[in-house]
Amino acid sequence: MTRLVPSLLCLLPGLALGAQGVFNNANSPTDPTCPRIMQEKTDLEYSSQYGRNGADASAVRYSQWGNQYFPPAQRKDVSAFAAYDEKNKGVSLASLKGKVVLVGLWSTHCDPSAKMLMEFASLYAKRDQYGFEILSVNFDENQQDGGGLEGGWRAINKFRIKNRQFFDASKMPIYTPGLGKEGPSNFMDMVYSVPVLFVVDRQGKLAELHIGYKDGFVGQALTRVLRERTAPPAPAPAPAPAVEPAKP
């Protein structure tokens, strides 16, 4: 990794301690993912004579972990996905066809997410040289309540200010996902853990899916898909010979 990587690494304790959000920090620094914490309403709460007061709700941790490679013939077209910057300017995968694209979902409340961002930053300056692009997509929910749940650009900007040295050095933009067909459901129905890395091939199709962080996995996945050779275009059919008119 490049020199800028330690600048965020030294700030990791500040990114995580005491943070509360949809994606909670891993239980230890070596855990690969941050699970999604969701409030489940039980039958007892719904049937309570006192109404839905939330007293019987419980927090449930949902986790995912794993890697999947898709052979070219089995790849899904995900080019409808789009990411949006702070000024609401969109970048679609369809507009990036011809390049390999890394789409990373991350949370401001997740140490493994910060590690993935560091790998992204170490590669970002090389994208024009090698023909790839990086979309670093924040996946915190855009809401806030009395419990301190916060997401969207308000939380992203706080995170960016706290890690100004890192983002100033990397010059890597941050995005939020589109909605509906433009959103992450274009890849998978529900994201239960972060970080998530999608590797999209030059045709806008999903080549690899990685849920969870492992040292060096971003560069390894990128290299595999960059080495793929696109099939040459089929030769145009030879024109049929002109038919001479029959002689009288």
The closest alpha carbon to 67, from 177, 190, 198, belongs to 198
Answer whether residue 190 is part of any domain. Answer: yes
Answer whether residue 242 is part of any domain. Answer: no
Torsion-angle region of residue 66: left (phi > 0), alpha (psi -120 to 50) or beta?
left
**15-19, 57-61, 147-151, range with the lowest pLDDT:** 15-19
Answer whether residue 32 is part of any domain. Answer: no
- pLDDT confidence bin for 207, thresholds 50/70/90: very high
Calpha distance 161→75 (Å, rounded): 38
Q: Average pLDDT, stretch 229-234?
A: 56
CATH number of the domain residue 111 falls in = 3.40.30.10
Answer whether residue 202 is part of any domain. Answer: yes
Residue 143 is predicted with a pLDDT of: 43
Residue 5 is predicted with a pLDDT of: 37
- The secondary structure of residue 237, as a DSSP letter, is P
Cα 150 to its chain centre, rounded Å, is 19
**H/E element holding 233?**
none
Answer whether residue 28 is part of any domain. Answer: no
Number of domains in the chain: 1
Name the 3-class secondary structure at 248.
coil
For strands 176-177 and 90-92, give the pairing: unpaired
Answer whether residue 47 is part of any domain. Answer: no
Whole-number percent of the chain with pLDDT over 70: 68
Residue 59, pLDDT > 50, answer yes
pTM: predicted TM-score of the whole model, two decimal places:
0.76
DSSP E strand stretches across the chain: 34-40, 58-62, 66-69, 82-84, 90-92, 100-106, 132-138, 176-177, 193-194, 196-200, 206-211
Give yes or no for a cis peptide into 195 (omega within 30° of 0): yes
Answer whether residue 179 is part of any domain. Answer: yes
Residue 39 is predicted with a pLDDT of: 63
DSSP E strand stretches across 41-175: 58-62, 66-69, 82-84, 90-92, 100-106, 132-138
Q: What is the CA radius of gyration of the chain?
A: 23
Domain ranges, residue 75:
5-19+65-226
Answer whether residue 49 is part of any domain. Answer: no
Q: How do residues 75-105 score in pLDDT, each as one tens digit?
A: 999 999 999 999 999 999 999 999 999 999 9
Q: How do residues 210-226 score in pLDDT, each as one tens digit?
A: 999 999 999 999 999 99
